[in-house]
Structures are given as C-alpha cells and as structure tokens.
Structure 1
Amino acid sequence: MEFPLVWAEVDLSAIAANVRELCRVVKPAARLMVAVKANAYGHGSVEVARTALAHGADWLGVARFEEALELREAGIAAPILIFGYTPARCTRELIRLHLTQSVHCLDAARALSEQAAGSGDRLKVHLKVDTGMGRLGILTDEHRPGLSGVAPADAAVREVMQMAGLPGLHLEGVFTHFASADSADKSYTHGQLALFERFLDRLKKAGLSIEIRHAANSGGIIDMPQTHLDMVRAGISLYGLYPSGEVRQSTITLTPALTWKARIVHLKKVPAGFYVSYGMTHRTAQPTTIATVPVGYGDGYSRLLSNRGIMLVGGRRVPIVGRVCMDLTMIDVGQIPGVAVDEEVVILGRQGAEAVSADEIADLLGTINYEVVTAISARVPRVFT
C-alpha cells in the first residue's frame, strides 16, 4: 500500500551503525552473529540481515527452519544457525540449503544422523549446552545426578563424543546461553561461564576439537568481554535497544532503528462527561477533542495500554483515553491546537523533542522492550529507510 494508515519505519542506517558499534566492542578474534529471528524482532528479517551482513556481521541466527528458509529464498548465502528444534525429516533440506542446526541431546543428533548419512553430505551442527537456563541443551555432569545422587564421571562428555562420531554430522560448534547476563549482579553468569569453560576443557582433553565456541548474548557482549570466545550472538542490541537498564550503556552507543507511526482518521469535539470506548472506562472531565488512530491490539498495540499509554502528536505527548480496540485507539488532543485528520501520530519513537521508547511502553506493560517491538503484527507494513 503506497499510503498506509499505520506503518513501522525501519532505519537501516541505524542497523548498520549498531553493527559497527558491536564490531568495535567485540574482541577482534570473535565473529559476530546477529539474531534475526521473529522477523528480526519485528524489524523485517531479510532487509535487516542484508544490512547487517554488509556492515560486518558474519553469521545469522534464527529460531526456526522456516525463518532460515525465508532468508535462503531471498538469496542470502551467509552461515545461518537455527537455535531451535528442527524435525529430522527436514535434514535433507537443511543440508541442501547449507544451514547449521542446533542439537540439544544425543537422541536428536542420532535422528539427524540417520537422515543425513544416506545423503552423501554432512550436516553442520552446533551442540547446545544447558549451563543453567533450563530450556534446551544437554546438561553437564554437575547438573545431572544419577540414581546414587552423583552423575557418572564425564557422562556428558561421552555423549558428546558419541555425537561427534555420528555419520552424516559435522560437530562444528558448542554453545550455551546466559540466563541473566543483563543483570547488574553477574554472579550467576560467571558461574555459567565457568561451567561451560570446564566442559569445553574436558571435551578438549577427550580429543575433540571445537571450531566455534559461543556464549555471549547482548548482555555478555556489552558487560563481559571474557564471554566473547570465538563468536558472539547479538540480539536486541542490533536493533538499537539495550537488553536492560542494568548493563553499562556507556560501553556502546546504540541507535533505535524502529519508529511506529499512524495517521489520525477521525476527530470529534465532545462535551464534559462523555464516555470513550468499550466499557465506559474513560469519562471526559471537560470539553475536549478526541482523535481516533487506526492502530489496536490487532496490530500488536497492547490492550493493557488502555487509559495508560502515550502517543505523540505535533511533537507533544497525548494520552490514550478509553480501551484500546482491535483496530482503533483514541487519544485526547484537546490541548493541541490545529490538529487535523491525516496528521501523523508517533506510537513508538521520536517526534520533535519528545519520544515514546520501547522501554517506556515495556515499563507500562510490565514486560521487556523485546516483546514490545516483536509484537508489532504482520499487518503493519514495514517501510525501510
């Protein structure tokens, strides 16, 4: 649509600037993987991936096979790691598309091996090690007590050595994921790193050579250079957002890449005592002007922002009044002279001297900035600038 009523502008020069900043901060020997899962955190996976690769990124990371397929079909040839589970029936496609698959246990590796062995080629895999996230990955011996309460010595290492010997697989990398690297208290992350490094050392002593070791997410990249290893994985920082308010923001200058905009589609002057939207949750205290904005929870603008959220009109902050609807939200513009239908509204981002940040919205919702930008739905067109 040439003239959308609601759209998200993605500044690719900001993506490029963030990649350059990440390259500056990351240890010189470490490669940079950028996470473009979930449609690049709502920013547009193909365009963001191309921009990031053109300005210094080495790898791409996605959550699902379908996301990797989209990138390959767009002609992107860079290495891609799939973080999540992929059914073994997709193995031939993984090999054909030169994708790298994460493996989280010996059984999954065996299933992939059975499919890959007859293909005449090998599937590259990275082993996920669970050092305290409790999500995906094999547990080290410290976290897997046996029936006697103590795990057999080097049981995890033996499993990995079995994986490494499976036909049709090439165990290229080993990685872990930090649970709280973006917290001011780094004690748990230090413990995870120590556990991971001990495990890597045991693998080395067992005779296994690992080409790529990686652990650092955005929090680790910013605050803990000792976690950079052979590769880092930048997620939220690629998009100009800090993983939390507790990381050292002075370490790296990030530029938010996304601005969410709309246009006023209706204006009406209403008297004092007038109810706005479903449930009569807002009643005007005085005569005012209500503007209707064509964005709602169907677009990813949370209903929890009803009577709480802020938008920008004419460079000024204006309140949401009444409940956010599926397709429409009302704002009170009575204090702004000359507001007109078709005037631009900023839902997320900057307008003049004012801004509504993803962090501000996240605070109102009791969530994180990741969710705010990722929630913007597919029916909101992305406009790349």
Structure 2
Amino acid sequence: MSTFPARAVVDLDAIAGNVAHLATLAPRSEVMAVVKADAYGHGLVPSALAAQAGGATWLGVAQLAEALTLRAQGVTGRILTWIYAPGAPLEGALAAGLDLSVGARWALEEVVAAARASDRTARVHLKVDTGLARGGMFLTEWTQVLAEAMVAQAEGLIEVVGVWSHLASAEDVTSPVTQAQLEVFTEAVARAEAAGARLEVRHLANSAATLVNPAMHFDLVRPGLAVFGLSPVPGRTPTDLGLTPAMRLEAEIMLVKDAPAGQGVSYGHTYTTTRDTVLADIPLGYADGIPRHASGVGPFQVGGRRLTIAGRVCMDQVVLDLGRGARERAGDVAVLFGPGGDGEPTAQDWADAVGTISYEIVTRLGSRVPRVYVGTAGRAAQELAEQERAW
C-alpha cells in the first residue's frame, strides 16, 4: 500500500470505452491507441492493455524504450515506434517484433543493417512530412528514400507495410493547411503503391481527425489524447465528443490551521489573507507536476466548493484558503481534477487557468504520484501495476 498522500485514480473502463467509441467513428479503419509519454501520464502498460480490451488492434509509442517496455511486460499485438536516434538498438527492436518508422535516409540505412545482422525482415512505415515540418521527409526526398526502401524490400530485408504522417491542425477541417497535407499524403501513398509497396496501413488521423474528419481515416486511425477521454477540439468538451476522462487526481489534506487576517501565505507572500480564515496544506507541488504557473489560479474542489491555490506553488505543497469557519480536517480529500461530473475541476480547467493544453496537464504528472487503477478492463494491468509497486 502506498504511503504517498495523493493519487491519480485511472479508470481502465473509461479508456476501453473511449477506444470502442472512437472505433465506431472510423468503422472502416483499425484503431492504433497511442500510449506514448507513459500513456499521457495514465500508466503505460495498464493503459495499453485497457485500450486493447476496448478494441485497439495497434499500439503506438513515440520512444523505442516505451515499445520495448511493453514487450518486456508481455504486451502482444502490433506496436509502432517512431523516435530513435542513430545507434539505437534496432536489432533488439526487430527481435521484439516491433514496427519501425523510417523518417530519414539514415534511419532506413540503420534499419536495413539491423535486419541484415539479425536475419529478420523489418516492418517499416515510411514517414512523409506533409507540412508539419517536424518528423519525416518532404515528398521529394521521401520519394528517393522510397526507391531505396524498395531495393531493400526486394532483398527481403524490409517490408514497407505503412505510409504515415502527422497533421498540423487537424481540429480545423476547413484549414487550407489540413487540405494541403491530405493531398500530399494521398500522393505519397500513390507513389508507394506504384513502386510496389504492399501497404497494410495508411495512417494520418490523430485524435482530432478521428473525431471530426472522416476524410483522414484511411486504413488506421491514431488517437492519443482522446483515448484518455480528453478533448483535442477547442470549444468542444469530452461529453460533446462522447468521451469519458479517465483520470482523477486527488490528495489528502495534510494540515488545517487557523490564520489571522493579514497573514502572508507561501513563498514570497504573494497571497495575503483578507480576514480571519482557515488554511489547508495539500501535499502536491511542482515536483509532482503541478505547474508553478498555477500559483494563485490552480483550481481545487474541497467539500463541494471550488477554491484556487493561495500563493505560490511549492516543490511539494500548495496551500488553499478554505475560508472562515471551514470544517475540513486533515485526511479529508481535495480534488485537483477529474471528469467533472461531480463539479470538480477538469484537466481542461487547469489548462485554461495556466495557459496551456490538457495534454500537458496530465502528461507532466510526476512518477512519485501513485496511479490507482479501477474498472474491470485490463484486469492484468492492475496486477502488473501492483507488482511494479511491490518492486
């Protein structure tokens, strides 16, 4: 049992249900649940298993280390990984049965070398930069590397199984940038097929495109944030989109004490009480992922009412002004965010308060905050999490 006085309660059934809902929106496509960044802070292995329970036939992770961890923990099925640097242990990746993105000429060369050294055929997804100007190759170079990939495929060293790209503003279906990216992607697919690639999957749609732009669905959709029930579409709530947020972050009040009017609170005394009041000390701080920019604005729910952080966020603690006559005691629960159904703040409320996006709020949650898994989906995930805590 954890002694840490706070927890992130993760509903595995919500994750499974979100995946199932996303699948209904793209009925002719498979679903890749993207579980990068420790599953957006929700826990890599438990979330992956819950996503598979909801119908995900693929998993996606950014870092090669994440993909190897999934395999080491017994997670089966197709897994794509796309971030690695020169010299990465690609022979181990092939031994683990991973699909690899190739977004540069050097990457193709190293994948081919690993395939030759390990006597395994590498499954490759060629990444075209359709306009995000980040990972992948612009179409001219991509076409040149495609030709080189087909030579390696003829030798039996690789199999080009996918073509893929990332969108810059998928939530805006009327954006000329989005339309231009779709056109470039469609051209890349046509060139791959003309070159003789036996494509299993063509994938472009992230969470937003999965939700609002069927033209982007192709053979495989690649939702990430939406798997965890948060909205990638500005102005539309998870409820609007049929999603259920999977995480609730809560902490036990550590200390309650009376404070007089005129008392400065926390470092720098940026907050001063205006009347006799009651202060509460909450044992979470920026070491746990609470943004320091949330000083004075971060929302909480205590005793059914909304409060904001009094003064600066500290490394391990924040203070709340409970008000005159507050009846809370040490051990009572303060909620930072959750689905919102009980009136608690949401991850989006926190994002709005500090001027960021909900993605950052959940993914920055520190590793020392225990994840507690509830729900029937991915029961094996709960057992793995308990084993990890025991270690």
TM-score by structure 1 length?
0.92
2:148 to 159, 162, 168: 162
**Aligned pair in 2 of structure 1 residues 193, 207: CA closer, same or farther (>3 Å)?**
same
Partner of 2:219: 230
Please state how far the C-alpha of 1:199 moved relative to its aligned partner: 2.0
Confirm whether residue 359 of structure 1 aligns to residue 351 of structure 2: no
Q: 1:150 matched to which residue of 2?
A: none
- 5 Å-filtered alignment, 1:6-155, equals 6-26=6-26, 28-141=27-140
Gaps of 5+ in 1: 142-154
Moved more, 204-213 or 367-376: 204-213
Superposed CA RMSD: 1.8
215-224 vs 1-10, greater mean Cα deviation: 1-10
Task: Tell me if 1:190 matches 2:176.
Answer: no
Number of the residue aligned with 1:342: 331
State the SS of the aligned residue for 2:312: coil
Does the aligned pair in 1 maintain the 2:276–2:324 contact within 8 Å? no
Kindly indicate whether the alpha-carbon contact (under 8 Å) linking 1:10 and 1:384 is maintained by their aligned counterparts in 2: yes
- Code of the residue aligned with 2:145 in structure 1: it is E
Taking structure 1 as reference, are residues 89 and 234 closer, same or farther at Cα in structure 2, changes over 3 Å only?
closer
Q: 1:369 to 1:227 in 2, by over 3 A?
A: same
The alpha carbon displacement at 1:87 in A equals 3.8
Instruction: Please say which of residues 340-349 and 113-122 is displaced more in the overlay.
Output: 113-122
What is aligned with 1:149? none
Aligned to 1:381: 370
Instruction: Tell me the CA shift for residue 89 of structure 1.
Output: 4.5
In the alignment of these two chains, the number of paired residues is 371
State whether residues 88 and 112 of structure 1, in contact with CA within 8 Å, keep that contact through their aligned partners in structure 2.
no
SS at match of 1:178: coil
In structure 2, relative to structure 1, the CA distance for the partners of 1:350 and 1:190 (3 Å cut) is closer
Give the deviation of 1:157 after TM superposition: 2.4
Q: In structure 2, what is the equivalent of residue 323 of structure 1?
A: 312
CA distance, structure 1, for counterparts of residue 361 and residue 319 of structure 2: 20
**Compared with structure 1, are the counterparts of its residues 246 and 85 closer, same or farther at alpha carbon in structure 2 (3 Å cutoff)?**
farther
Structure 2: distance between partners of 1:187 and 1:250:
28
1:220 is displaced (CA, Å) by: 0.7
Q: Distance in 1 between matches of 2:98 and 2:63?
A: 11
Change (3 A) 1:30 1:267: same
- Percent identical: 39
CA distance in 1, matches of 2:223, 2:234: 17
Classify 1:335/1:61 alpha carbon distance in 2 versus 1 (closer, same or farther; 3 Å).
Answer: farther
Task: Name segments (4+ residues, structure 1) moved above 4 Å.
Answer: 246-251
Does the residue aligned with 1:215 lie in a helix, a strand or coil? strand
Q: Tell me, which stretches of 5 or more residues in structure 2 are unaligned?
A: 375-391
Relative to structure 1, the CA distance from residue 185 to residue 336 in structure 2 (aligned partners, 3 Å threshold; closer, same or farther) is: farther
Q: In 1, are the aligned partners of 2:128 and 2:142 still within 8 Å (CA)?
A: no
Moved more, 80-89 or 69-78: 80-89
| Distance in 2 of aligned mates of 1:68 and 1:20 | 23
Deviation at 1:312, TM superposition (A): 0.7
Letter of the 1:284 partner, please give it. T
Hey, what does 1:266 align to over in structure 2? 255
Question: 1:308 aligned to 269, 287, 297, which one?
Answer: 297
Distance 2:17 2:343 in 1: 22
Say which is worse superposed, 340-349 or 352-361, in terms of deviation.
352-361
Aligned match of 1:145: none
Shift in CA distance, 248/370, structure 1 to aligned 2, threshold 3 Å? closer
Q: What is the letter of the counterpart of residue 315 of structure 1?
A: G
Q: SS at the partner of 2:222?
A: strand
- CA offsets, 1:294-349, max 9 Å, x none? 00000000111111111111111112111110001000112563211100010112
Shift in alpha-carbon separation, 1:243–1:350, aligned structure 2, 3 A: closer
Partner of 2:357: 368
Shift of residue 158 of structure 1?
Answer: 3.4
- Deviation of 1:188 after TM superposition, in Å, equals 1.3
| 1:265-291 C-alpha deviation (Å, 9 max, x unpaired) | 111111110000001101111110000
Give the equivalent residue in structure 1 for 2:268.
Answer: 279
Q: Does 1:221 align with 2:210?
A: yes
Q: Which residue of 2 aligns with 1:254?
A: 243
The residue identity in structure 1 corresponding to 2:68 is L
